Amino acid sequence: MFGGSGGSNSFNDLYKFDLRQQKWHKLEPNGDLPAPREGHVARFIGKDKMLLHGGVDQNETSFNDTYILDGIS
């Protein structure tokens, strides 16, 4: 799971849910993360990549960018 919002803030945190342990784990990927956002589209590509597109931030700034987050397995 990437991003989202809480109250008046948008986030760019990246989490993975471990089905065996029934726990969320925060991931610390290398490189530049997308700006904090919510309302974006995210889709896994294969086993270790996530495509992320668009969204808005807490100031309602719209994003029209695309990222591929790599090595998130």
Burial of 17 (0-12, 13-18, 19+ CB in 10 A): exposed
pLDDT tens, residue by residue, 17-55: 999 999 999 988 877 889 999 999 999 998 888 999 999
| Mean pLDDT on 11-15 | 93
At residue 36, the pLDDT reads 97
48 Cβ partners below 8 Å, 6+ apart? Answer: 70, 71, 72, 73
At residue 54, the pLDDT reads 98
For the chain, give every domain's residue range: 2-70
How far is residue 29's CA from residue 64's CA, in Å, rounded to a whole number? 22
- Global pTM? 0.84
| Mean pLDDT on 59-65 | 96
Q: Which of 15, 23, 22 is nearest to 42 (CA)?
A: 15
